[in-house]
Amino acid sequence: MKVAKFGGTSMASAEQLIKVANIVKADENRKIIVVSAPGKRFKEDTKTTDLLIALGESCLKGENTDDKLMAIVDRYKEIAENLNLSNEIIDEISTNLHELIQADQTNTDRFMDGLKASGEDNSAKLFAFFLNSTGVAASYVNPKDAGIVVTDDPGNAQTLPETYENLKKLKGRNEVIVVPGFFGFSPEGNLVTFSRGGSDITGSIIAAGVDAELYENFTDVDSVFVANPNIVDDPKEIKELTYKEMRELSYAGFSVFHDEALIPAFRAGIPVCIKNTNNPSAPGTFIVAERDFSKDPVAGIASDSGFCSIYVSKYLMNREIGFGRRLLQILEDEGISYEHMPSGIDDTSIILRENQLCDEKEQRVLDRIKTELNVDTISIRHNQAMIMVVGEGMTSYVGISAKATAAFARAGVNIEMINQGSSEVSMMFAVAESDAPKAVVALYNEFFTEAANQEELPLVLR
């Protein structure tokens, strides 16, 4: 049995739904289908999830929401009409949205989660309805009935272990099952969404729960590329990646796959394949336990912006036992997570996502570090980007970081910080946000052009 997840780009229009239905029909092993909410039909379009968020925010402000609600119903209506489906399904979706905006707003996160989840929920109902209309026996299954149990952390749920046992009941059914992605239910029965892009997680946990032979993740590109195609023109395709590499790359900015979606499939030993709904015969990218690193020690280059770095220096920091713990304790008290913490003898930097700090919180954190840890200097640098060079094979070759830094130098990009992950799977470079695209292109040219492919690096002797 295969589990196939179709992303927002695959659910965006009637034309796309026809392609998805044909993909489902083309392989009878595609028994469980996980769908996202209708996504972007063209570059400047807005995802239904974002329309729902805007609707929810308007409701909370007490504004008139008629137009916003109508725009969402219209997205589904256009799809249904172009598929010649009866009004029944659109009436159901419209009623559902009207009910959701009337829901209890006391807990705003919960209210928002209900609306956000409706994007995938209604998409799944619509797709199951469409499949049935084409003669394919299909049923919509709600994540609650499927047994997807998650932590009660709105917008950031994590799967609870009992889910995997519960999901076994989806096996062996004599029809196609359509499950909405992106949300589950807490043990108390509250609907809770995963973080953005979380339908990938639903697909992975279901694949693990039913012990699928393959988890196929359908999107709008033929494969995962070695660099973001929005930054590098026509980048090289990746045939195989390890779970570890894909997780690192996703976390560092490859938005094509959610970084938390790999672990469930990996633990259950299920291969993952990223494929294109618009070109399903292309082989796609396989994510596997092991690959041959000899040709491509570097698997890919990712970049992400929106970071800041807090720099702290104090003479004899190296001798002060407990300094690091107390510094991190301040972040923990403030509910801030950090990404990297490179340090020297008398100084250390902490890199974090800057959306965690409003002006007031930033000032409080800096003041606390200054007074509670009695530091000599403290400063914060905003608008930083992290460039990540990732590859499990890097550990076996000499000179990869030299090549990377030479590429930065040639592109005239100043490296503000370097950090090599302890497993040597990744190398991180902090640069100014405005330099990030230039840096990615320079690294791409260094590692993935023809000349780079012919250059043999010496192996590490162990």
Ligand X SMILES: N[C@@H](CC(=O)OP(=O)(O)O)C(=O)O
> Smaller CB distance to ligand ADP: residue 221 or 386?
221
> Smaller CB distance to ligand ADP: residue 254 or 397?
254
> Smaller CB distance to ligand X: residue 250 or 309?
250
Residue 460's beta-bridge partner residues? none
With CB cut-offs between 5 and 8 Å by kind, which of ligand X, ligand ADP, none does residue 198 bind?
Answer: ligand X
From candidates 13, 16, 49, 384, binder to ligand X by CB under 6 A: 49
> Smaller CB distance to ligand ADP: residue 255 or 313?
255
Which of 32, 26, 27 lies closest to 174 in space, CA to CA? 32
Rounded to a whole number of angstroms, the minimum distance from the CB of residue 16 to ligand X is 12
Q: How far apart are CA 370 and CA 348, in angstroms?
A: 13
* Interaction residues for ligand X, span 118-137 (CB under 6 A): 119
With CB cut-offs between 5 and 8 Å by kind, which of ligand X, ligand ADP, none does residue 56 bind?
Answer: none
Rounded to a whole number of angstroms, the minimum distance from the CB of residue 136 to ligand X is 22
Cα–Cα distance list, 183 to 40, 108, 115, 256, 431 (Å): 20, 17, 11, 19, 35
From candidates 143, 181, 264, 271, binder to ligand X by CB under 6 A: 181
DSSP 362-380: HHHHHHHHHHHTT-SEEEE
Q: Are 182 and 194 in contact (CB under 8 A)?
A: yes
Q: How far apart are CA 258 and CA 246, in angstroms?
A: 9
Cα–Cα distance list, 429 to 25, 301, 404, 423 (Å): 45, 11, 9, 16
Can you point out the beta strands (E) in 188-279?
Answer: 191-193, 214-219, 240-242, 272-276
Q: Count CB neighbours of 283 within 10 A.
A: 12
Rounded to a whole number of angstroms, the minimum distance from the CB of residue 9 to ligand ADP is 4
* Interaction residues for ligand X, span 7-46 (CB under 6 A): 7-8, 36-37, 39
Q: How far apart are CA 18 and CA 103, in angstroms?
A: 34
> Smaller CB distance to ligand X: residue 121 or 248?
121
> Smaller CB distance to ligand X: residue 274 or 312?
274
What φ, ψ does residue 103 adopt, rounded to 5°?
-65, 165
220 known ligand binder: yes
Residues 6+ apart with CB under 8 A from 7: 36, 39, 199, 200, 217, 218, 219, 220
Q: Is 194 in the site for ligand ADP (CB under 6 A)?
A: no
DSSP letter assigned to residue 457: P
Contact pattern for ligand ADP over residues 22 through 41, marking x by CB under 6 A = --------------x--x--
Residue ranges for the binding site?
5-8, 49, 120, 219-220
Residues in contact with ligand ADP by the rule CB under 6 A? 7-10, 36, 39, 197, 219-221, 224-225, 227-230, 254-256
Residue ranges for the binding site for ATP?
5-8, 219-220
Residues in contact with ligand X by the rule CB under 6 A? 7-8, 36-37, 39, 47, 49, 119, 181-182, 196-200
